[in-house]
C-alpha cells in the first residue's frame, strides 16, 4: 500500500485513516486524474511499482538477498521501551526466515529476484532480460 500512497503523494501517516483503504485510494486516483481505478488495478499498480523498483536495484547491482539487510541496531540493541517488544532484537536467522516468506509472497526467487512469470503477470515481461543476465558489478564496495 505504501507504494501507492507514495505515488499519490499522500502522507504515509494517513494509512489506516481511510474507511476502505484500497478502494479509497482508487477513488482519490480517479478524482485526481479522471481515470477510473478499481481495487484490483490499484493493488496491481502497487505490485508493479515494487517489482520495477526491485528491477532497478538489480540493474544497479544492489537488488538481491545480500543487499536486503537490517540496520545494525535492530539486530544488536534490545528495544528499550516498556511493552511486549521490550528487550527484543531480531536475529539473523529470524530475519532470513522473514525474507524467505517475503520473497515467496512477492513471487520472487529465494535470492529476491522477481521471476519471469511474475514479471509477465504484471505486464512487465519486457524487463525480463534484467533477471536473466548476470548482475551488474557492485559500485563502490559491498
Q: What is the pLDDT of residue 118?
A: 96
Question: Could you tell me the CA-to-CA distances from 66 to 9, 12, 34, 86, 97 in Å, in that order?
Answer: 30, 28, 42, 28, 14
Query: How many whole angstroms separate alpha carbon 79 and alpha carbon 68?
Result: 21
Is residue 100 a part of any domain in this protein?
A: yes
pLDDT at 45: 93
Residue 85 within a domain: yes
Tens-digit pLDDT string for the chain (142 aa): 778 878 887 777 776 676 777 888 888 889 989 999 998 998 999 999 999 999 999 999 898 999 999 999 999 999 998 999 999 999 999 999 999 999 999 999 999 999 999 999 999 999 999 887 655 454 444 4
Domains contained in the chain, number? 1
The answer to whether position 122 is within a domain reads yes
Q: pLDDT value at position 139? A: 44
Amino acid at each position: 500500500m505504501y507504494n501507492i500512497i507514495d505515488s499519490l503523494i499522500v502522507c504515509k501517516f494517513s494509512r489506516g485513516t481511510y474507511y476502505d483503504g484500497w478502494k479509497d485510494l482508487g477513488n482519490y486516483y480517479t478524482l485526481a486524474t479522471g481515470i477510473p481505478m478499481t481495487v484490483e488495478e490499484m493493488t496491481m499498480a502497487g505490485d508493479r511499482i515494487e517489482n520495477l523498483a526491485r528491477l532497478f536495484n538489480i540493474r544497479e547491482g544492489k537488488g538481491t538477498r545480500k543487499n536486503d539487510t537490517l540496520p545494525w541496531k535492530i539486530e544488536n540493541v534490545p528495544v528499550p521501551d516498556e511493552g511486549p517488544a521490550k528487550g527484543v532484537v531480531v536475529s539473523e536467522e529470524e530475519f532470513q526466515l522473514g525474507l524467505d516468506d517475503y520473497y515467496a509472497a512477492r513471487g520472487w526467487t529465494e535470492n529476491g529476484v522477481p521471476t519471469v512469470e511474475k514479471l509477465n503477470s504484471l505486464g512487465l515481461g519486457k524487463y525480463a532480460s534484467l533477471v536473466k543476465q548476470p548482475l551488474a558489478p557492485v559500485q563502490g564496495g559491498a
